Amino acid sequence: MRVIAGPEKKTRVFSELERKITAYHEMGHALVGHFLEHTDPVHKISIVSRGQALGLTVSLPSEDRFLTSRSALMDQLAMMLGGRAAEELVFQEITTGAANDLEKATAMSRQMITRFGMSEKLGPRVFGSDPHQPFLGRELGSVPSYSEEMAQEIDEEIYRLIDDAHQRAAQVLLEHEPQLHAIAAILIEHETIDKEQFQRLLQGESAHDVLSDSGPGTPAAVRPRRVRARRSLESTPARRGPDAIVEPDSASAANGAGVEGPHEPR
């Protein structure tokens, strides 16, 4: 975990409300990722702050992949937006926590449309030059090769893909709302849940049995809850929020499709 997301930020002080929002946010990612068909298995869920992330949902592939289907990318989009959807469902409010998720979802949907020809409306076409081509100058590489009207259509398609993914994420969470509340409460108390524990909790096993069986070999999952001084949500500066779905570049299915960066709050 330290290699993927950096060391723990032990000096950060969170209010109880922030911890609760972060826990639901991460459980939103985890549940959407678990119940959609084409996402990678959830490996770890944590509300321990690391790097710029307030919490993390680590999703790792079970095999190497070099091609990614449109269905898989759409499921990944939904998982990215699961945290924001959970905030809306539980708190009827949104926070800055999904900033990084939205950035990655927008970048992925734009590549789906402009590089991979995955728009049903615009068809199998490439729009513009690949901004990562090393032999193009910065100015030349940034000049669009399409009209303003086409740019507007591309923007509309990006919005449609993201909106569809958001609605799918919200639907999954509505269908599994009891599990969302139950496991989020456990996450608030124990801060970290690993893959096996998550699956057992989803199967209905009690938290006492699941966490007591983990033994001393997984102290992060059973360590006592930290006591932190309270601080209001309003007084917290904007930052990359709880949304960090982490997929190391070398193993990420999105990488096969050219999506940049790690996959998960901050």
Encode pLDDT of 43-72 as tens digits: 999 999 887 788 999 999 988 889 999 999
| Helices 70-80 & 16-35 angle (0-180, nearest 10) | 160
How confident is the model at residue 51, as a pLDDT?
A: 75
**DSSP SS3 for 189:** helix
Region 116-130: mean pLDDT is: 88
Catalytic annotation, residues: 26
Residue with more model confidence, 233 or 162: 162
| CATH level 3 topology of 15-218+241-256 | Methane Monooxygenase Hydroxylase; Chain G, domain 1 (1.20.58)
Cα dihedral 256, 241, 193, 231 in deg (nearest 10) = 170
What is the value of pTM for the model shown? 0.75
Alpha carbon distance 67, 30 (integer Å):
23
Encode pLDDT of 66-90 as tens digits: 999 999 999 999 999 999 999 999 9
